[in-house]
Amino acid sequence: MGNFHDQPVLGGHLRDMSSAPFAEGRYASQPGHEIAAILDRDLEAHPGIEVLRDATAIGVYEDNFLAIHRGEEIVKLRSQEIIVATGAQEI
């Protein structure tokens, strides 16, 4: 499984939150940047997940084929499944 993210650090707006009112369990009472760091470490430690940082999907094609722009290269990726998680903007 691949995870690609357009920033060098995972977590988006979560990193800016001083508290995360939705957090439960091991994340309860943790500031957002710490929750993001925990989740980042968990992803990096998972043997079946590769994280591509500073990467942006530029195309999604038939049969779960993705074109991903990363630095000066185009990465071609084919996956059994695609999950699109675009992030959130609190208003």
User: Per-residue pLDDT tens for 25-37?
Assistant: 888 888 888 888 8
pLDDT digits (tens, 9 = 90+) for 24-77: 788 888 888 888 888 889 988 999 888 888 888 889 999 999 999 988 999 898
pTM: 0.63
DSSP conformation letters of 2-42: EEE-SSSSTTGGGGG-S--TT--GGGTT--HHHHHHHHHHH
| pLDDT surpassing 70 at residue 90 | no
